[in-house]
Structure 1
């Protein structure tokens, strides 16, 4: 489908309706009340595959502990990773990358945040989506954000083909010039509270009902939405447990660490020394832990 075929004729009406809807009532997350790029970057990294309600408390605690990019850059990496693990914020690599990004801003940018999406991608762990979000919300200078929620909205409302380039073209054509901050917040909010997998058109007062293809036809199919793998018992959970345990000790032998990670740990069993060595090897590769040999016994500790 071409961009022209997907866009409604009353583009200005579509824009005004969405912005007015967002202005009248939306979820009041604290990072929506700031234009500080550091605070917004922290919120964006934390929000990756984590519920926003859980991120809110962690975000406030993180900024209370490391209130500026300089404070984070000079912090001990182990402390940052331990915080991440304690708050169950997903892959600990994100904490490591965020810490490195803060150091880059201090060392390579004289403490000043890059402002454009392209420049922001020079920071460790900041991909196109996160760079664009920070540019939009901190500097009001980004392209249209296209996440899963936005794709669902565009697919249903304007019958946009399930194609990444088509979504990007239509999203950017719809976004008003110079309003990336409010527009991106508004369309993501629409996808989160109204155009969910099970739509809430009436309950949420969707502002696009008069233009929406799905609303007119009753066909609310949408592109597949990726689901998060189960956390309980996952390798990701075990990695987090290792980090949480090691922060309490200078070092631990494998057979002392193992039972603390899994109650069914058995040195020669399925979840034994070999399983634990593989887990630690992954964490070593990520620069998060170190292992040493003492009198034929392997010990593990957080990398300082």
Structure 2
């Protein structure tokens, strides 16, 4: 891994993995389109109420998401507004927290105190910036930025474990450069959609066990890990087993075609696999299957001229 360098477009990314200024906008568009096309349906994604979003963020800290959804819905049924929560007995809030196995009961205490602050210090109106939101009890930089982003579209780029994994794998970003790289990637003034999208990418396609092809990762064309086959990450200290997998050979194909205008299929086969034989088990039929997958993903174009079949990146 390399330290982050300043790109030609003024953004900070890791050296060899730096996307050009021309690639940056297509990367943004591809990710947002992927997210809008299909994403996990969490109820707090359907609201811009800062109170409801704050509750979801506090509940999600170190709690499995499948337990958070019913707890969040029950919590808002019981205390639907910040005024309701501020007026509640703190002991009732803590008892709810414990009953729903949300862990660390002090988070319930902090959430109740934060609601009281909003009512007493802000006349019931939530502050809108990350800095102001950090004045609330128990609200740190990450939670403040998440609420500012998802409630007010007024946040900075979110950097959580999932986002770090994406940046490390896709752009070869290393410790100390995550914040600057994430900020450079995010389109100005679009923190709500962008942070949802990149967090979804890390949670669905670029999880600890990557699902690049299965989840249709929109960044495969540019991803350093996908092209090299190295899917280690800060929270994934050992490389998942992919030796001999179709993903490994797809990555080799993309990397080779990136260095050539086009290649004949047999030449490509011999370059990606030492035991490639045109009519063998790992021959043209096997290779055409890989190329067809990449063609379906919009990454590779197959030109069939009869006797001469070539492949190139789109």
Instruction: Please tell me the TM-score bracket, short chain as reference.
Output: 0.7 to 0.9
- Ranges in structure 1 where 5+ consecutive residues have no aligned partner: 227-304
Kindly indicate whether the alpha-carbon contact (under 8 Å) linking 1:45 and 1:94 is maintained by their aligned counterparts in 2.
yes
Provide, for residues 66-102 of structure 1, a one-character-per-residue CA deviation record: whole Å limited to 9, x for no partner.
Answer: 0000000010000000000000111000000000000
Cα distance, 1:105–1:47 mapped onto 2, change above 3 Å: same
1:200-211 equivalences under 5 Å are: 200-211=211-222
How far, CA to CA, are the matches of 1:102 and 1:182 in structure 2? Answer: 26
Pick the aligned partner of 1:131 from 125, 135, 144: 144
Q: Please name the residue that 2:189 is paired with.
A: 178
In the alignment, does 2:78 pair up with 1:65? yes
TM-score (norm 2): 0.70
Counterpart in the other structure of 2:199: 188
CA distance in 1, matches of 2:64, 2:213: 24
Write the distance in 2 (CA, Å) between the matches of 1:78 and 1:34: 28
Would you say the 8 A contact 1:3–1:170 is kept in 2?
no
What's 2:111 paired with?
98
The Cα of 1:178 is off from its aligned counterpart by: 1.1
Show CA shifts across 1:234-268 (max 9, x none). Answer: xxxxxxxxxxxxxxxxxxxxxxxxxxxxxxxxxxx
Give me the whole-angstrom Cα distance separating, in 1, the residues matched to 2:94 and 2:69.
Answer: 18
The 1:99/1:207 distance shift into structure 2, 3 A limit, reads same
Which residue pairs with 1:274 in the alignment? Answer: none
Unmatched segments (≥5 aa) in structure 2: 8-12, 238-314
Which one scores higher on RCO, CA 8 angstroms, separation ≥ 6?
1
Alignment pair present for 1:28 and 2:46: no
**157, 165, 169: which one pairs with 1:144?**
157
The match for 1:40 among 53, 58, 62 is 53
Check whether the contact 1:148–1:225 (CA below 8 A) recurs between aligned residues.
Answer: no
Say whether the 8 Å CA contact 2:208–2:235 is kept in structure 1.
no
- Give the Å deviation of 1:225: 6.0
**Whole-angstrom CA distance in 2 between matches of 1:224 and 1:48:** 17
| Alignment partners' CA distance in 2, 1:39 and 1:178 | 22
* Distance across 2 between alignment mates of 1:20 and 1:119: 32
CA RMSD across the alignment: 1.1
Query: In the TM superposition, what whole-angstrom CA distance separates every residue of 1:124-162 from its partner, at most 9, and x where no partner exists?
Result: 00000000000000000000000000000000000001x
Q: 1:19 & 1:124 partners in 2: Cα distance?
A: 33
Which residue is 1:12 aligned to? 25
1:236 match: none
Cα offset, 1:224, TM superposition: 2.7
Deviates more, 1:47-56 or 1:113-122: 47-56
In the alignment, is the contact (CA less than 8 A) between 1:3 and 1:169 conserved in 2?
no
Which residue of the partner structure matches residue 293 of structure 2?
Answer: none
